[in-house]
A and B are shown apart, each in its own frame.
Chain A
Amino acid sequence: MPLRRVFCSVFVIAVAVSAATFAAERTGEIVYREMCASCHGPNGEGTPKEYPEPLLGDKSVKELAVVIAKTMPENKPEKCSREDADLVAAYIHDAFYSPLAQARIKPARVALSRLTVRQYRESIADLFAELRPSEQPNGKLGLRGNYFPSRRNRDNEKVLDRIDPVVQFDFGEGKPIQDDRLKTDEFTINWSGSVFAPETGNYEFVVKTVNGMRLWVNENDVPLIDGSVRSGNDVEHRESRFLLGGRYYPLRLEFFKSNKAKEKKAAIALHWTRPHHTTELIDARYLSPHRSSEVLVVQTPFPADDRSVGYERGSSVSKEWDQATTDAALEIASTVLPEVNRFAGTKNDAGDRKQKVQDFALQLAGRAFRRPLNEETRQPFIKQFEDNTDVDAAFQRSLLLMLKSPRFLYREVDGSANDPWNVASRIGYTLWDSLPDKPLRDAAANGQLTNREQIRSQVERMAADPRAVAKLNAFLRQWTRLDSLIDIAKDSHLYPEFDPAVISDLRTSLELTLADAAMQPRATYRQLILDDEFYLNGRLAPLYRVDLPADALMPQTAPFQKMKLEGETRVGVITHPFLMAGLAYTATSSPIHRGVFVSRSLLGRSLKPPPEAIAPILEDLHPDLTTRERVALQTKSQVCQGCHVMINSLGFTLESFDAIGRWRKAEKGKLINDTGLYTTRDGEERRIQGAPELGAFLVDSPESRQAFVQQMFHFLVKQPIRAYGADVPGELGRSFLQNDQQIRMLMLEIATTVAATGLN
């Protein structure tokens, strides 16, 4: 490998390849060793006798070179030429002098972290969810529909009680069902149950009706939409609500036609607009007839968390964040205060109300702090109740104090690293991004979190919880970059069928795939990489040319089902049409975007930004070239090749998929060439042809496996993996392989490892 390539090359491993290996050239390191190290130490750490201070600072390379040329070596600056000064400045700047270098060479450690925004919201939801017991889903899909003959919804007049999978009815001028007790001019239908939010974000609920209606979502006493007065041409009602992903929320829809209103027709449909989707009917898979409890979802907006290292972490604080914690605390207090009697088990006129509410505040604080209160930590709360005669005011202030306290806002800030409460907290936040639940707290209190086996049994229990599934799902969405591929609209002349509804469905298709992988306990990485069945519905199937028997033409309304795309070389989630379309330009595919995704996300290679900003070559300039040829032309310079030799070669293997992710044999009359080459970190060259060989390579590649392990670790734990021991990545990778690359099992291993670190 020529020397030049090593320097341009962008892999972290290149750092380890010291220039000294190539002794023929005089390098900064050689100069440093010759002339500087005797006083400053081999790594700039200083020497006790000559110069004890470490060489640290924030001068630029040029500034540093000027100083060195003028002043070094001490008393004999003429010994150091300007060229040597330049070399040595560049060397020490990158090796240890600059803050960046310091950050790089510092050993990884577990840093104190505040709750991330997701952790904050999940913790608040769970802090109060435990006080509002909820029914569990019973496997049925849809809403419970109760049908009544009049506007009075009297139970003894109920005509029908059934599960309606979706709410989309047009009764015309007739009755909802043929039943003599119902008339055509007046009836009421109450649909109730729960709605599941698949991801965190704003959900717009849309009710379309020519009649009267009211809709409640996650707030049982105030309707989200009050359409009991129909007025003018107002036949569509829309309201938004912010919801946390992976949870059920109570939903109730009341619909009525009344004879007094002299309405001829009756029709209603319950739609929604999920984040990054178009408005669509709420599908049965998101509806459940069970009764869930209200979830306290903090509505206060928070500034986004630091993601500069590739995963969200609570490594910094800001004024905006601090203000958000204040606003959120006030919001939470205003929501909780009206329920304080119920939570505390008391009444307004009870003689012992103050004591009961105080006890409740203390109990809540213990849970919020993830550790029982002691004499010292109880005191500020008790003082609130001593200082305030108004019990409600004392409670509100206790809540504010608790929710603004670093004991709530920071993880494992108190106690020793491995006391059972910090172990419990680590388990809770790793698996759920949330507080320990009651069984976990009991285990901590009873000394049952002192060894790996005990921890493992808690982790196994908690990994089956919907919150763990939701977090795993969130990880897979980030791993596939689903969440960052927001606008994937295409050239409407070239791809007129690729409209917003198709894009929305395509996103749903990928979401369903990932949700399956998160939900199924034994789903494996192998399946994700090699599965050749894809979720398609009636709108997507014709566009992606699924070969269906003539008599089985899918209607537009056909629901999602998994099917093979016959005759294609399409393998695994990476070839999902949504990803292929997302990793493409509006008119053509983009081997570069795809190659970056494969090298960075799937193989864990680190890439530096391009050294020169280069605008893509316009297609018009070379109308005869295929995309592959054009990309090769664009990146042919040596400067580019350092990275693009890898990026392009990997991206080319996916050239069989066009800008909307549709399979193709040819482009511009030339057969697609989807062969590529990959040089592993061990120097082995692999020739890869097309998606099937890419999948086969990835699924057995230790690089790909380690990348997956490392990314999941960082997403779950939000601390650098090496901080838990140099051999942790390898151990986790080995156990992942031994467990057939089961995704859920990897989550378990990570949580157990992190929680048990430091224990015997």
Chain B
Amino acid sequence: MTFRSSRREFLRDLGLSAAALPFVCNLPSLGFANQAQRKQRLIVMFSPNGIVPDQFWPDEEGADFKLKTILSPLESLKDRTLVLNGVCDKIRGDGDSHMRGMGCLLTGCELFPGNIQGGSDTPAGWASGLSIDQEIKNFLQADTATRTRFGSLEFGVMVPDRADTWTRMVYSGPNKPVAPIDDPYQMFNKLYGQKKNQESLRSIVDALKDDFRKLEPHVSGDDRALLEEHATLVRDFERELQANPDGLNHPEPVLDQGIKEENDNIPKISKMQIDLLVQSFSADFARIATFQITNSVGGAKMRWLGIEEGHHELSHEPDKNESAQDKLTRINKWYCEQLAYLAERLAATPEPGGQGSLLDNTLIIWTNELGKGNSHTLNDIPFVMVGNGLDFQMGRSVKYKKTAHNRLLMSIAHGFGHRLTKFGNPDFCGDGPLSQLT
């Protein structure tokens, strides 16, 4: 499989010219010098098909709670973890639960009518508004103090190569889904391609100058002036390249080569993407990221756990099928391990130019399009938060009573100082941001 992206994307992503170089490093030395305000960051991590409630939700409320099997990988991060139960996706309208669960999860608004149909519900199209991560990204990018090279980065793992309501969770506006990049090499090129290009250009300049030198004696006097003028431009270009020796303030990460995008490589791809994500936060390429493992209705076959069936297929099995529930528990625990690895990597990475670690300034939210797979409920959508990015009071289990998730989306914005009075469908924003978070 090739990972060719469209040429237009290439041009858009790379900006290309040597003059654009200083942008690559986001002027770190200056940026880090005057930290009036700490850098706040957000990561939304997604896994599909609901969870197994009795292996997931803590029984207790408050600071004294126990992590059950699925959340057990968070044990060492427990005091930085906040589990929110009772938050519901109340958006109705067109589309089945998987579609609305995905399309309304971060947008908090209805899907447009359309031609995509799942189950027996009415067909639907794309979400009718932008998602909260993009709302916050726009907020940060509007201020030079918080602006970054990309603003947000959308990572994926094994997202099917088709654009539909099940594969898109991020929206830059109504009818404007944003595709996650699920190929680590493509993401690497987006982040570091320009630097590699500069290196390549530097490596050929000597041979190029040599070419001019060899040709110049062969052309007549009048013609030589043109060639000499051109050779001068080449030397100027070389000087510009040398003025930006790296274009980056850190060595680029080294990726394992030749990892194909296929089911059995999901663990490897997930790790590569997490490493790139942490690296890109460390380099301040962006402060908002999404990390979407497969898609709504995702059918990963976790053979590496000894599970042959696809995830979605298993998620339809009734509660009494113990073998299936056991497998679903192990599947969700594996997702939680990805969350834990991400959090640990952030915790192990010092905040550049600041105090503490990246995790001290980052909030990760792990979520899902459904509460539970076999009922397709949009109640009790899992929201597990890790990290101290937003001054939420961590190390707790909180239980709400059927509270609209729009209020949570607003809380996240408020955590960034972006005081929205509504987000998505205003009917579900009535009581403002969630209480009990800070």
Which A residues have a C-beta under 8 Å from some C-beta of B?
Answer: 109, 111-112, 114, 211-212, 219, 221-222, 226, 228-234, 258, 260-263, 299-300, 315-319, 322-323, 326-327, 330-331, 334-335, 338, 348, 376, 380, 383-384, 387, 393, 396-397, 400-401, 404-407, 409-410, 413-414
Closest chain A residue, CB of each to CB of B2:
A338
Closest chain A residue, CB of each to CB of B164:
A229
**Are B14 and A330 in contact, with the CB atoms below 8 A?**
yes
Cα A261 to Cα B123 with chains together (Å): 5
Closest chain B residue, CB of each to CB of A222:
B6
Cα A140 to Cα B207 with chains together (Å): 50
| B1-21 near A? 1/0 per residue, CB < 8 Å | 011111110110010111100
Cα A151 to Cα B239 with chains together (Å): 57
Which B residues have a C-beta under 8 Å from some C-beta of A?
Answer: 2-8, 10-11, 14, 16-19, 111-117, 122-126, 128, 162-165, 174-175, 193, 197, 200-201, 203-204, 207-208, 210-212, 214-215, 218-220, 222-223, 226-227, 229-230, 233-234, 236-237, 258
Contacts of B164 in A (CB 8 A): 228-229
**Are B215 and A407 in contact, with the CB atoms below 8 A?**
yes
Cα A396 to Cα B193 with chains together (Å): 12
Contacts of A228 in B (CB 8 A): 162-164
Q: How far is the CB of B251 from chain A (nearest CB, A)?
A: 17
Cα A323 to Cα B240 with chains together (Å): 12
**Per a CB cutoff under 8 Å, which of A221, A232, A330, A405 touches B175?**
A232
6 contacts between A and B (CB under 8 A): A261-B116, A317-B233, A334-B193, A384-B204, A401-B207, A414-B215
**Are A338 and B197 in contact, with the CB atoms below 8 A?**
no
The answer to whether A229 and B116 touch (CB under 8 A), given A299-B11, A316-B226, is yes
Contacts of B163 in A (CB 8 A): 226, 228-229
**Are A219 and B6 in contact, with the CB atoms below 8 A?**
yes
Closest chain A residue, CB of each to CB of B126:
A231
**Are A413 and B219 in contact, with the CB atoms below 8 A?**
yes
**Are A326 and B200 in contact, with the CB atoms below 8 A?**
no
**Are A112 and B208 in contact, with the CB atoms below 8 A?**
no
The answer to whether A406 and B11 touch (CB under 8 A), given A258-B115, A261-B123, is no
Give the tally of cross-chain contacts (CB within 8 A).
Answer: 155
Cα A263 to Cα B227 with chains together (Å): 64
**Are A331 and B10 in contact, with the CB atoms below 8 A?**
yes
**Are B201 and A407 in contact, with the CB atoms below 8 A?**
no
Contacts of A318 in B (CB 8 A): 233
Contacts of B111 in A (CB 8 A): 231
**Are B210 and A232 in contact, with the CB atoms below 8 A?**
no
Contacts of A229 in B (CB 8 A): 114-116, 125-126, 163-165
The answer to whether A327 and B237 touch (CB under 8 A), given A299-B7, A397-B200, is no
Cα A401 to Cα B237 with chains together (Å): 14
Q: How far is the CB of A335 from chain B (nearest CB, A)?
A: 6
Q: How far is the CB of B31 from chain A (nearest CB, A)?
A: 27
**Are B200 and A376 in contact, with the CB atoms below 8 A?**
no
Closest chain B residue, CB of each to CB of A398:
B204
**Are A397 and B203 in contact, with the CB atoms below 8 A?**
yes
Contacts of B214 in A (CB 8 A): 376
Q: How far is the CB of B93 from chain A (nearest CB, A)?
A: 12
Closest chain A residue, CB of each to CB of B194:
A330
**Are B7 and A383 in contact, with the CB atoms below 8 A?**
no
The answer to whether A405 and B114 touch (CB under 8 A), given A232-B174, A260-B123, is no
**Are B115 and A212 in contact, with the CB atoms below 8 A?**
yes
Contacts of A323 in B (CB 8 A): 17-19, 237
Q: Which of A380, A383, A407 gathers most chain B CB within 10 Å?
A: A380
Cα A330 to Cα B162 with chains together (Å): 28
**Are A231 and B7 in contact, with the CB atoms below 8 A?**
no
**Are A331 and B203 in contact, with the CB atoms below 8 A?**
no
Q: A396-B200, A404-B234 are in contact. List 7 more A-B contacts (CB 8 A).
A: A112-B226, A230-B125, A231-B124, A319-B236, A338-B3, A338-B4, A376-B214
**Are A232 and B115 in contact, with the CB atoms below 8 A?**
no
Closest chain A residue, CB of each to CB of B163:
A226
The answer to whether A262 and B117 touch (CB under 8 A), given A323-B17, A331-B11, is yes
**Per a CB cutoff under 8 Å, which of B197, B210, B218 touches A380?**
B210
Closest chain B residue, CB of each to CB of A349:
B258
Contacts of B215 in A (CB 8 A): 406-407, 413-414
Q: How far is the CB of B244 from chain A (nearest CB, A)?
A: 14
The answer to whether A112 and B223 touch (CB under 8 A), given A317-B229, A319-B236, A405-B208, is yes
Contacts of A330 in B (CB 8 A): 14, 16, 197, 201
The 7 A-B pairs at the shortest CB distance, nearest first, are namely A231-B125, A232-B112, A261-B115, A112-B223, A260-B117, A231-B126, A230-B115
**Are B222 and A400 in contact, with the CB atoms below 8 A?**
no
**Per a CB cutoff under 8 Å, which of B7, B123, B207, B230 touches A331?**
B7
Closest chain A residue, CB of each to CB of B119:
A260
Cα A187 to Cα B200 with chains together (Å): 50
Contacts of B223 in A (CB 8 A): 111-112
The answer to whether A319 and B207 touch (CB under 8 A), given A112-B227, A222-B6, A232-B128, is no
The answer to whether A393 and B126 touch (CB under 8 A), given A299-B11, A338-B2, is no
Q: How far is the CB of A313 from chain B (nearest CB, A)?
A: 12
Closest chain A residue, CB of each to CB of B212:
A406
**Are B6 and A406 in contact, with the CB atoms below 8 A?**
no
Contacts of B123 in A (CB 8 A): 260-263
Contacts of A400 in B (CB 8 A): 200-201, 204
**Are A231 and B16 in contact, with the CB atoms below 8 A?**
no
**Are A299 and B4 in contact, with the CB atoms below 8 A?**
no
Q: How far is the CB of A689 from chain B (nearest CB, A)?
A: 50
Contacts of B207 in A (CB 8 A): 380, 383, 401
Cα A405 to Cα B210 with chains together (Å): 10
Cα A318 to Cα B165 with chains together (Å): 48
Q: How far is the CB of B180 from chain A (nearest CB, A)?
A: 15
Closest chain A residue, CB of each to CB of B14:
A330
Cα A317 to Cα B233 with chains together (Å): 9
**Are B211 and A380 in contact, with the CB atoms below 8 A?**
yes
Q: Which of A112, A114, A229, A384 gathers most chain B CB within 10 Å?
A: A229
Closest chain A residue, CB of each to CB of B207:
A380
**Per a CB cutoff under 8 Å, which of B16, B115, B212 touches A263?**
B115
Q: How far is the CB of B179 from chain A (nearest CB, A)?
A: 10
**Are B7 and A335 in contact, with the CB atoms below 8 A?**
yes
Contacts of B208 in A (CB 8 A): 401, 404-405
Cα A258 to Cα B7 with chains together (Å): 32
Q: Which of A318, A326, A376 gathers most chain B CB within 10 Å?
A: A326
Q: How far is the CB of B236 from chain A (nearest CB, A)?
A: 7
Cα A327 to Cα B113 with chains together (Å): 42
**Are B11 and A300 in contact, with the CB atoms below 8 A?**
yes
Contacts of A258 in B (CB 8 A): 115, 117
**Are A322 and B234 in contact, with the CB atoms below 8 A?**
yes
Contacts of B174 in A (CB 8 A): 232
The answer to whether A317 and B230 touch (CB under 8 A), given A230-B115, A330-B14, A330-B197, is yes
**Are B11 and A234 in contact, with the CB atoms below 8 A?**
no
Cα A413 to Cα B379 with chains together (Å): 73
Cα A404 to Cα B210 with chains together (Å): 12
**Are B230 and A406 in contact, with the CB atoms below 8 A?**
yes
**Are B7 and A232 in contact, with the CB atoms below 8 A?**
no
Cα A233 to Cα B220 with chains together (Å): 65
Contacts of B114 in A (CB 8 A): 229-232, 261
**Per a CB cutoff under 8 Å, which of A221, A226, A393 touches B200?**
A393
Closest chain B residue, CB of each to CB of A212:
B115
**Per a CB cutoff under 8 Å, which of B7, B122, B237 touches A262?**
B122
The answer to whether A406 and B7 touch (CB under 8 A), given A226-B163, A234-B125, is no
Q: How far is the CB of A265 from chain B (nearest CB, A)?
A: 12
The answer to whether A231 and B236 touch (CB under 8 A), given A262-B123, A330-B197, A413-B218, is no
Closest chain A residue, CB of each to CB of B203:
A397
Cα A380 to Cα B209 with chains together (Å): 11
Cα A212 to Cα B204 with chains together (Å): 48
Cα A401 to Cα B17 with chains together (Å): 17
Q: How far is the CB of B6 from chain A (nearest CB, A)?
A: 4
Q: Which of B7, B200, B214 gathers most chain A CB within 10 Å?
A: B7
**Are A334 and B7 in contact, with the CB atoms below 8 A?**
yes
